[in-house]
A and B are shown apart, each in its own frame.
Chain A
Amino acid sequence: MATEKIGLYVHAPFCVKKCSYCAFNSVEKPRDTSGMCTALSTEFIRRTQQPDLEYQTFYAGGGTPTLLPPEFWKRMIDMVRAPWLKEVTIETNPAVLDAIDYSSLHIAGFNRISVGVQSFCDKNLKLLGRRHTAEEARETLQLISRTGFKNISLDLMYGLPGQTPEHQKNDIIEALSFMPQHISTYDLTLEPGTPMGNRGEKASEDQCAEMYHQIHEILTANGYVHYEVSSYALEDKYRSMHNSSYWDRTSYIGIGPSAHSFSGTKRSWNIPGIPEYESALLKGELPEDSSEEITDENAVNEILSIGFRNTNGVDLNELDKFGFRLDPTDLLHTGLIEQKGDFLVPDEKGMLFADLLALKASELLEKTSGV
């Protein structure tokens, strides 16, 4: 029987405390998480026990997945029992330094860990509503590298209100000092409904662009590959496999409240509400909220909205497979992309205009005859 390569995502919707900018689906951790653990395993068992799936990646995200017990994660990973699993990632947050048993997590099977540092400046951390200090972030990073993780990713945010490129430089230099295999740098997004979103404060567009270019310069000079608008890998092999699978139309199954799944032709997502999610599973139902069939036009628009964000670029052949042709002349005139064979590849500046390129490209699409 043919096997299908697939990714697995598990959403742990709990955090120590909500950060001021965060619109992810997470709530303050209840004392007892066993209900959620049971619900997650139940959904997991019901949805993943097909013998023809070849799990390549496992990603424990959130929320703060390290707030769920290592035994839980061990059971989950064991259940996949997949010899193919290459990348097994968990996200963590320095705020719960003492309580987290990183070596157990490593033994449980995680081989990659992503640490939400965000900044090495206490003032910024406070502004962001993070529940840890810069010092605690440093300790967490040291602790994690001592416990055997050989693939560490470090998250930073920039474009914070009041932050200047000079300031931001300190963060990036300090991040480098830990020599993480991967660095993600996110431009602050003001999410409506969050405290920071409501305040509406952020560094100016010019400053954010400057910070973006500065990060690129410093990290590439230090050997990192800038392979996606927010992502840098120390070597190609350290690119996030799991995230890349979102971009290259690999199928994935998302477990947990509001988690998204993709089957190749259909996208579906779970109920966001935590009690509703748990009770659906208790009743023996699948917690799916809704789904949509992906038409060919949907597919090409997805390819375009994702493609210019990373250095793989947009594959003209792939558009063709969905019945669309794209004449790249006008796009090439922007000076933001290059054509490499059948691929339209954004350069460093191009990725910063990914949405604009997608919009332009989408307007230039033509249906090819016979489809």
Chain B
Amino acid sequence: MRSNIRNFCIIAHIDHGKSTLADRLLQVTGSVSEREFHNQMLDSMDIERERGITIKSTAVTMYHENTEGEKFQLNLIDTPGHVDFSYEVSRALASCEGALLVVDAAQGVEAQTVANLYKAMEQELEIIPVVNKIDLPSANIDETLYEIDNELGLDPDGAMHVSAKTGQGIEELLEAIIERIPPPSGDADAPLRARVFDSIFDPYRGVIAYIRVVDGVMRSDRDISLMAMGNEYRVEEIGHLGIKREKCELLTNGDVGYVIAGIKSVSDVRSGETITTKLNPAEKTLGGFAQAKPVVFSSLFPISSEDYNDLALAMEKLKLNDASLIYEKVNSVGLGFGFRCGFLGLLHLEVVQERLEREFGMSLVLTAPTVLYRVSLTNGEIKYIDNPNLYPDPSRIELTEEPYIKASVIMPDKYIGPVTTLLLNRRGRDYSNTYVGARRVEIKVEMPLAEIVYDFYDKLKSLTQGYGSFDYEASGYHPGNLAKVDILVNHEKVDALSMLVHRDRANNWAKRACENLKEAIPRQQFKIPIQGTIGGAIIARTTISALRKDVTAKCYGGDITRKRKLLEKQKAGKKRMKMVGKVMIPQKAFLAVLKRD
């Protein structure tokens, strides 16, 4: 047992102050110099900073002396909070002994707090409730403590009161971390076992795996093996994760750090992997290794076909750093060559899209995301279909099944009506509800995964004003009566707009898709009919009327620059449209088909 180490993470609903608290801890412990400091130190990707979300787990080691002058090593493991990355979260939580549960004193307990608290409890972490933002005039500390007690079932007397902004209460919090979070257990003399909780790709060093040593000692220059994948490597460098990487000679049980070992791709060393030594291997893995499976599929195409090779390169590079991304080449009649991709969820999809566009300068069209259907053919063959265009002819199909999930929604009880309606409208079944706190209800329901793929979170969030938390697990395949709806734009079928839809929904779906496309496709000089069809029969139609004018009324005096900039902007906008036949279809139209009311 190494009594001077504490490993912990921070759990918080978005905007409750996780990043700010991490910044303060780094400053108060002197882990970062004033010169080096900037806000949101731990969020390194642009997307993370801008959206205020964490995508990759990371860790940082801080040192702090308690009041008796004893020095402690504090390892903060920063984890994503979103359900798409819940597998990564669980691996990071498994590497900690404690968690700070941050609650905004002005907002009270909110959705993600609950979902992630349960995950932390499953790992039997010591939870320290932290009431944050006590400096705000609108802070309601008593009410927040009441909720911590009643809605989370945690002892409110043990809650720490801090302002991550002003630094108030941070010293006391550090004391509490040292006092209350147990030191890591584990056996220093046992064979090495270290858990990988995330890894990144560095163009110069290859893969850098973030690890928590559970048993034994890891040294550089030794041969290691990855117990799940079975590969062997020689350790080039190990170290602690300060603000920068700090090389060292050995990492002992309880330590959090990194390892560089000539690993080529993050897919080779996934989260949950157990590292041991080749010479004296451990007998058992640390457990908990699973490959996160993609659940949502979509095709990506470059807006202009010449960029296909660039996209292929970009995908390869992105894959180096994102083990969960899977893809293969596809060809679409309207859109040319692209990639069929699998994602962990919609946030993952958005992140991949954004990174391709920003880090690699790609302009992309994405097709409507779908799930993985299981189709039994009349000849006994079973096929998994993740692309509507590969859906077999109905005459050859014996049975189609779709993936279901067991969903859980927790929310204040006043929202139960609208949320129930939402879930039942999304084909929810086996509905049940129970009170989990004084005024909080949990609804459980089984429903098709396809029903949450698009705009479900947004709907839930707006129905519950952000207080509904949602989580789910897969619950196998169940029969579904599906129809393939095709969309014709100006009499040409656009295969990228085809969708598999529940048959009872097909007519409405097609009608709405046509309406949405009418909104999303800009008027052109000619009339554009839009039709929805099943097996060639037209079930919905709209028409985009011809453009009647396209000129800005007034030229503002001598401000010709403004006119030119407008032209340049339009030109850039047009680069984000795809020519299908004679019609320019903007990028957003490919997702607009999915928008509900």
Contact = CB atoms under 8 A, between A and B. Distances in A.
Contact of B551 (A9, A11, A262, A354): A354
Contacts of B568: 301
B305 interface: no
A352 B549 contact: yes
A47 to B, nearest CB: 14
Contacts of A305: 560, 563-564, 566-567
Of listed B545, B547, B549, B571, residue having the most chain A CB within 10 A: B549
A274 B548 CA distance: 40
B426 interface: no
A214 to B, nearest CB: 13
A230 interface: yes
Interface stretch (A101-109, A140-148, A205-213, A218-226): A205-213
B279 interface: no
A182 interface: no
B551 A355 contact: yes
B555 interface: yes
A302 B549 contact: no
Nearest to A261: B558
B230 interface: no
A166 interface: no
Nearest to A267: B561
B557 A352 contact: no
B570 interface: yes
A260 B559 contact: yes
A210 to B, nearest CB: 8
A82 interface: no
Contacts of A298: 564
A346 B7 CA distance: 72
Contacts of A334: 525
Contact of A246 (B553, B557, B566): B557
B552 interface: yes
Contact of A363 (B553, B566, B571): B571
A352 B550 contact: yes
Contact of A362 (B547, B558, B567): B567
A254 B550 contact: no
A299 to B, nearest CB: 9
Interface string A172-198: 000000000000001111000000000
Contacts of A205: 523, 547-549
A255 to B, nearest CB: 11
Nearest to B545: A206
A229 interface: yes
A355 B570 contact: yes
A209 B558 contact: no
B363 to A, nearest CB: 15
B574 interface: yes
Interface residues of A, number: 45
Given A301-B567, A363-B571, A260 B561 contact: yes
A304 B574 CA distance: 17
A302 B554 contact: no
A306 interface: yes
Interface in A299-353: 301-302, 304-306, 309, 334, 351-353
A54 to B, nearest CB: 18
Interface string A234-278: 000000000100100000101000011110000101000000000
Given A187-B553, A309-B555, A362-B571, A246 B560 contact: yes
A127 interface: no
Contacts of B571: 359, 362-363
Interface in B526-574: 545, 547-561, 563-564, 566-568, 570-571, 574
B554 A267 contact: no
A288 to B, nearest CB: 14
A292 interface: yes
Contacts of B564: 298, 301-302, 305
Interface of B is mostly: loop
A70 interface: no
A9 B557 contact: yes
Interface residues of B, number: 26
Nearest to B558: A260
A352 B551 CA distance: 6
Given A260-B560, A302-B560, A358-B567, A209 B553 contact: no
A355 B552 CA distance: 7
B549 A353 contact: yes
B198 to A, nearest CB: 44
Nearest to A24: B556
Contacts of B556: 24
B560 A306 contact: yes
B563 to A, nearest CB: 4
Interface string A156-167: 000100000000
Contacts of B570: 355, 359
A236 B349 CA distance: 60
B567 A359 contact: yes
Contacts of A306: 555, 560, 563
Contacts of B558: 9, 246, 252, 254, 259-262
Contacts of A45: none
Contact of A355 (B548, B550, B557, B559): B550
A61 interface: yes
A209 B548 CA distance: 6
A356 interface: yes
Contacts of A301: 564, 567-568
Contact of B554 (A61, A186, A208, A355): A186
Contacts of B559: 260, 269
A139 B549 CA distance: 35
Contact of B553 (A188, A267, A302, A353): A188
Contacts of A267: 560-561
Contacts of B563: 302, 305-306
B549 A254 contact: no
A98 B490 CA distance: 60
Interface of B: 523, 525, 545, 547-561, 563-564, 566-568, 570-571, 574
Given A208-B548, A267-B560, A358-B567, 12 more contacts: A186-B554, A209-B549, A230-B554, A298-B564, A302-B560, A302-B563, A304-B567, A305-B564, A309-B551, A353-B525, A353-B549, A354-B550
The 8 A-B pairs with the shortest beta carbon distances in the complex, nearest first, are A209-B548, A260-B558, A187-B553, A356-B550, A354-B551, A305-B563, A352-B549, A305-B567
20 contacts: A9-B558, A187-B549, A205-B523, A205-B549, A206-B548, A208-B549, A230-B554, A252-B558, A260-B559, A301-B568, A302-B560, A306-B555, A309-B555, A334-B525, A352-B549, A352-B550, A355-B550, A355-B570, A356-B550, A362-B567
Interface of A: 9, 11, 24, 61, 159, 186-189, 205-206, 208-209, 212, 229-230, 243, 246, 252, 254, 259-262, 267, 269, 292, 298, 301-302, 304-306, 309, 334, 351-356, 358-359, 362-363
